[in-house]
Amino acid sequence: MRTGPVAAAGVLALALAGSALAHSLLLESSPATGARLAAPPPEISLRFNNRIEKKLSTIRLLDEGGAPRPVTVLAADGPVDRLTARVPSLPPGAWRVEWRVLSTDGHIVSGGFSFRVAR
């Protein structure tokens, strides 16, 4: 049986789609992307579409000027698809969360989002 270029392209597309599905995707966050909060959040929580290697994953919190604020990542706590960090009391203003996780497929995935604490 002979396969043409269209069939070969289809097989390749399915193989690539399967490998991409193993990468961790951020499904939800608390605070949510673009949230306007009346009070500072006590923690940042991220939920992914699959298990992540928590001990090799990070959350960074940056102020409006890009200066980092210390957070405590809780690597051993909670479900295997969540990464959570305790946050110190934050003053009003814009904040940026940057995360980096190790997916179960061995790839490092990163992203970020912003939220605002009301004045």
Using only C-alpha atoms, what is the Rg of the chain? 18
Predicted confidence (pLDDT) per residue in 15-24, tens digit: 444 444 568 8
Task: Tell me how far apart the alpha carbons of residues 22 and 50 are, in angstroms, rounded to a whole number.
Answer: 8
Predicted confidence (pLDDT) per residue in 61-80, tens digit: 999 999 999 999 998 778 99
CATH topology of domain 5-117: Immunoglobulin-like (2.60.40)
What are the boundaries of each domain within the chain? 5-117
Q: What sign has the CA pseudo-torsion 112, 31, 51, 60?
A: positive
Between 21 and 98, residue with greater pLDDT: 98
Burial class of 42 by CB neighbour count within 10 A (0 to 12, 13 to 18, 19+) = exposed
Task: Tell me how far apart the alpha carbons of residues 46 and 51 are, in angstroms, rounded to a whole number.
Answer: 12
Share of the chain above pLDDT 90, in %: 72
